[in-house]
């Protein structure tokens, strides 16, 4: 595997920015100016290869949804059919195709899973030409039902993982290798910014570090200096600033707006389901026992990321008048009660964004056009909470600065630990997890 292929592979992983920086040095080392190399070396010098431990306890991949391979292997055995190919059945289309084909062997309709109503009795089995015992029929029927349940769980878990990726880095994991590798400056910026965007949150009562750091800035400036060769369309999948979008045609912007609108629609339904399943305390957004805070926060992050990109494109296309008729707000993440208490004990107060969140309609209901909310309503809510509606990102594209580079800390549930081997032991024993 070439270095550029390894770099591309990181788009769907959670590699440390330092290790991605080292790859970038290998790719275009001779083309860097002295000051550019010095900036990149701030990260590359801290790669695992150059560190004392040479190891990290933190996972460097996203989760993977488990398909129906185990259940289908059993079905192949029980139905005595030949397996066309050993695909592992980690694909929705493959599982659905298998169900459709095999369910017909016992005249079962996919989706009809009521044990009392949807099975064939002895006479109907005989009429259908099925010369099998009741026990054999029930065994096959139940197994197909389990495969259908596994399929629904697989779809659910796949959505959760997809939304987690979107919440971190937008659509960078969907960029094709051809688009990624067409220009090295483009590839290097996307890969490093992707790694920075995927960093985990730290346990703090201060704001988190912004992903766009001084190395991102240097790599982005290289793209701007070679603007003609830069693949701005690929960059817009992870970084949709005004500087990037101005290089896209209206057709490209429109296609991207369509993508983000579809994603917002998918997330809105998922958020609504989570909202009613978790009985979330909206006033403070403090985690209660039984709340699935991980899934909620990942999905809320995906909504906010999609919304930011949607908003950027609305302004870039000159369609901001839409906001006078339709403007949906941000979604607040759940906060641990100890973090809130820590924040209050040091002179802070509840995030004013939470106050806005409480005073405007739920954003998925607005998106689904079940309730009305426009720019004016959100502006008034922001004023009541004492925050600027534009600078806070409620009605306008976010504006960010350039963060200084900081080495990636070893984290155990957000708590910094100096030694990766100690971090592994602490994690295995559930320290800082709230479970001991």
| CA distances from residue 250 to 13, 170, 229, 256, 319 in whole angstroms, order as listed | 31, 20, 19, 10, 12
pLDDT at 343 over 60: no
Give residue 88's pLDDT band: very low, low, confident or very high (50, 70, 90): confident
Please say whether the dihedral angle defined by the alpha carbons of residues 173, 174, 177 and 178, taken in this order, is positive or negative: negative
Average pLDDT on 344-361 reads 83
Contacts of 335 (CB under 8 A, 6+ apart): 284, 285, 286, 287
pLDDT at 263 over 90: yes
Burial class from Cβ neighbours inside 10 Å (0-12, 13-18, 19+) for residue 87 reads middle
For residue 416, the cross-strand partners are 411
Burial class from Cβ neighbours inside 10 Å (0-12, 13-18, 19+) for residue 357 reads buried
Give residue 28's pLDDT band: very low, low, confident or very high (50, 70, 90): confident
Residue with tokens 């009660």: 337
How confident is the model at residue 34, as a pLDDT? Answer: 92
pLDDT at 345 over 70: no
The CB density around residue 253, as the number of other CB atoms within 10 Å, is: 21
Give residue 3's pLDDT band: very low, low, confident or very high (50, 70, 90): confident
Average pLDDT on 257-266 reads 96
Instruction: For 58-73, write each residue's pLDDT tens digit.
Output: 888 899 999 999 999 9
Task: Give the helix/strand (H/E) hosting 133.
Answer: none
**What is the per-residue burial (b if ≥16 Cβ within 10 Å, else e) of 277-315?**
ebebeeeebbbeeebbbebbbbbbbbbbbbbbbbbbbbe
Average pLDDT on 106-123 reads 90
For residue 411, the cross-strand partners are 416
Give residue 425's pLDDT band: very low, low, confident or very high (50, 70, 90): low
Task: Give the helix/strand (H/E) hosting 208.
Answer: none
Average pLDDT on 8-30 reads 93
How confident is the model at residue 335, as a pLDDT? Answer: 87
Give residue 105's pLDDT band: very low, low, confident or very high (50, 70, 90): very high
pLDDT at 51 over 90: no
Closest CA to 217 of 8, 51, 50, 43: 43
Residue 327 CA to residue 335 CA, distance in Å, equals: 25
DSSP label at 91? S
Residue 127 CA to residue 125 CA, distance in Å, equals: 5
pLDDT at 329 over 80: yes
How confident is the model at residue 37, as a pLDDT? Answer: 93
pLDDT at 419 over 80: no
Contacts of 409 (CB under 8 A, 6+ apart): 202, 416, 417
How confident is the model at residue 417, as a pLDDT? Answer: 66
How confident is the model at residue 295, as a pLDDT? Answer: 96
Count of alpha carbons within 13 Å of 129, Cβ hemisphere only? Answer: 2
How confident is the model at residue 282, as a pLDDT? Answer: 93
Q: What percent of the chain has pLDDT over 70?
A: 89
DSSP label at 238? T
Average pLDDT on 304-310 reads 96
Contact 215, 43 (CB under 8 A): yes
Give residue 356's pLDDT band: very low, low, confident or very high (50, 70, 90): very high
Give residue 224's pLDDT band: very low, low, confident or very high (50, 70, 90): very high
Strand, helix or coil for residue 416 = strand
pLDDT at 214 over 90: yes
- Average pLDDT of the chain to the nearest whole number: 89
Q: Is the pTM of this model over 0.85?
A: yes
Give residue 342's pLDDT band: very low, low, confident or very high (50, 70, 90): low
Average pLDDT on 105-129 reads 90
Out of 202-211, 239-248, 321-330, 393-402, pick the least confident: 202-211
How confident is the model at residue 400, as a pLDDT? Answer: 84
């Amino acid at each position: 595997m070439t270095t550029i292929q390894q770099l591309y592979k990181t788009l769907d992983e959670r590699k440390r920015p330092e290790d991605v920086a080292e790859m970038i040095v290998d790719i275009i080392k001779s083309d860097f100016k002295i000051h550019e190399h010095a900036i990149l070396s701030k990260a590359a010098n801290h790669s695992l290869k150059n560190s004392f431990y040479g190891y990290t306890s933190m996972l460097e991949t996203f989760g993977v949804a488990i398909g129906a391979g185990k259940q289908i292997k059993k079905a192949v055995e029980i139905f005595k059919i030949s397996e066309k190919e050993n695909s592992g059945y980690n694909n929705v289309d493959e599982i659905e195709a298998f169900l459709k084909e095999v369910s017909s062997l016992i005249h079962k309709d996919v989706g009809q899973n009521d044990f009392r109503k949807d099975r064939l009795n002895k006479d109907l089995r005989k009429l259908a030409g099925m010369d099998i015992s009741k026990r054999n029929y029930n065994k096959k029927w139940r197994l197909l039902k389990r495969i259908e349940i596994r399929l629904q769980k697989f779809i659910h878990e796949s959505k959760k993982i997809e939304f987690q990726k979107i919440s971190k880095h937008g659509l960078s994991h969907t960029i094709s290798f051809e688009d990624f590798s067409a220009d090295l400056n483009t590839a290097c910026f996307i890969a490093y910014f992707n790694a920075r965007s995927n960093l985990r949150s730290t346990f703090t009562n201060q704001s988190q570090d912004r992903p766009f750091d001084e190395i991102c800035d240097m790599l982005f400036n290289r793209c701007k200096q070679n603007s003609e060769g830069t693949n701005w369309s690929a960059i817009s999948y992870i970084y949709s600033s005004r500087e990037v979008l101005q290089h896209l045609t209206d057709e490209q912007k429109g296609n991207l707006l369509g993508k983000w609108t579809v994603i917002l629609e998918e997330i809105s339904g998922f958020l609504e389901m989570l909202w009613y399943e978790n009985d979330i305390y909206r006033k403070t957004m403090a985690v209660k026992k039984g709340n699935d805070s991980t899934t909620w926060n990942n999905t809320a992050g995906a909504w906010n990321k999609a919304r930011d990109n949607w908003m950027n494109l609305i302004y870039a296309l000159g369609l901001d008048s839409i906001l006078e008729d339709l403007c949906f707000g941000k979604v607040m993440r759940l906060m641990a009660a100890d973090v809130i208490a820590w924040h209050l004990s040091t002179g802070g107060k509840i995030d004013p964004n939470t106050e806005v969140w409480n005073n405007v309609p739920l954003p998925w209901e607005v998106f689904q056009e079940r309730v009305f909310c426009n720019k004016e309503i959100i502006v008034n809510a922001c004023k009541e909470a004492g925050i600027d509606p534009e600078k806070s990102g409620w009605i306008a594209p976010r504006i960010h600065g350039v963060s200084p580079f900081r080495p990636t800390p070893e984290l155990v549930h957000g708590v910094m630990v100096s030694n990766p081997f100690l971090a592994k032991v602490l994690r295995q024993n559930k320290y800082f997890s709230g479970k001991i």
